[in-house]
Structure 1
């Protein structure tokens, strides 16, 4: 698998060194109302998808890494901090081992935590929420 982040229509691209396991949450905004004799379930709108990635940014080349990945942990840290500072969405594209796209989603970076190891590698957790682009004139406009 390969995970690639990009910003500003691929103006800047960051290939993640490894593809950790990930989980996508797809919630639905459903509600239950009490009726006189029975409860009523109202099916709501689809909520924004959320996901989290946890792994590490390597400080040296490992044999299992993507050949396009950077070996400078600070480059990844600067990339994700820049997205937060600029207040812009990023795009995450995940492809499987056969280069088939598994996920292509614009996201906001909700939380980015990282911790330096003694060997120079940096552990990280990246929490994201789906970002929906709104056209001028509204969502349908």
Structure 2
């Protein structure tokens, strides 16, 4: 399995060097419940809500044999993601399990928490992403 995050049609790509222990995608619905006089409580099925995912792992400062990518080190990953946040554009999350693509969605960075927690110099992080839907407007001729 590999996890990639990128910006602006692969202008910059990060292949996560250390896979998270697990990932779960939250996918919900915007259902509504109403109280009626004659039928009591009823539920209306709404539209799908935006998906979200939380990724927890670390960016290595050292060269470990289990790394999936060695393009950057520790704080370089943090600097790239912080720069992406400053640009205020969606990023792309791709999760593959060769040859199958499990997830491919545009996302926004909801939060990015990071810091050191031991003497290795590795940067432990929690990255929370939320689905981004591009707005499709119909064009009308005048």
Q: TM-score, normalised by structure 2?
A: 0.90
Aligned counterparts of 2:131 and 2:61: Cα–Cα separation in 1? 30
Q: Equivalent residue for 1:4? A: 4
SS at match of 2:63: coil
Q: Call closer, same or farther: CA 1:44–1:134 in 2, change over 3 Å.
A: same
- Cα distance between partner residues in 2 of 1:120 and 1:64: 17
Where structure 2 has 5 or more consecutive residues not aligned to the other structure, the ranges are: none
Aligned mates of 2:59, 2:37 — CA distance in 1? 57
RMSD of the TM alignment (CA)?
1.3
Distance 1:19 1:28 in 2: 29
Matched residues, number: 136
- State how far apart, in whole Å, the 2-side matches of 1:92 and 1:26 are: 15
Instruction: Work out the CA distance in 1 between the residues paired with 2:55 and 2:18.
Output: 11
Alpha-carbon displacement from aligned partner over 1:67-100 (angstroms, at most 9, x marks no partner): x34341112101110111111110010011x331
Counterpart Cα distance in 2 of 1:36 and 1:112: 47
Establish whether residue 114 from structure 1 lines up as the match of residue 114 from structure 2: yes
| Correspondences of 1:18-57 after superposition (within 5 Å) | 18-20=18-20, 21-38=22-39, 39-57=41-59
- C-alpha displacement of 1:32: 0.8
Query: SS of 2:4's equivalent?
Result: strand
Q: Does the CA-based 8 Å contact 2:62-2:120 persist in structure 1? A: no
**For 2:9 and 2:129, how far apart are their aligned partners in 1?**
18
Determine whether 1:99 maps to 2:107.
no
